[in-house]
Amino acid sequence: MMADVTDHAASKGGKQTEGLFFAGYFFLQKAISGIGIFLSGLILGLVGFPENAQPGAVDQDVLMRLTLFYAAALVVFGLAAAWSYLRFPLGPVAGVDPQGLDRVIDAAGEEV
């Protein structure tokens, strides 16, 4: 999908900007990882998960709250992902623009 996005941007803008897209992608990946670690700790605190817990020694109420929180988050994030995929133009509508690609090739030849 990233290749389609960079090709689309190149055909619309006339410039190759793959580096910018990939830099932004990896920056967001690292930022989201950090947010995920923070939220994990926050969720464990909200459900009352004990520190230094031993396997089999965690109260069933705490595990049930954690399970319910996980199920709710799974549904919310799943619906958000489905909604975002529905908004992405897939299929023949997002077809190749040969004139746009020719502009990119011409522009790349002029820069050399």
Determine how many CB atoms are found less than 10 A away from the CB of residue 104.
Answer: 19
- Among 17, 21, 40, which Cα is nearest to 104's? 17
Question: What pLDDT does residue 17 have?
Answer: 83
Question: What pLDDT does residue 6 have?
Answer: 82
Question: What pLDDT does residue 19 have?
Answer: 86
Question: What pLDDT does residue 97 have?
Answer: 61
What is the mean pLDDT of the segment spanning 87-98?
Answer: 64
Query: What's the rounded Cα separation, in Å, for the pair 63 and 69?
Result: 10
For residues 98 and 10, the answer to whether their CB atoms sit within 8 Å is no
Place 90 in a pLDDT band, splitting at 50, 70 and 90: low
Query: What's the rounded Cα separation, in Å, for the pair 10 and 22?
Result: 14
Place 91 in a pLDDT band, splitting at 50, 70 and 90: low
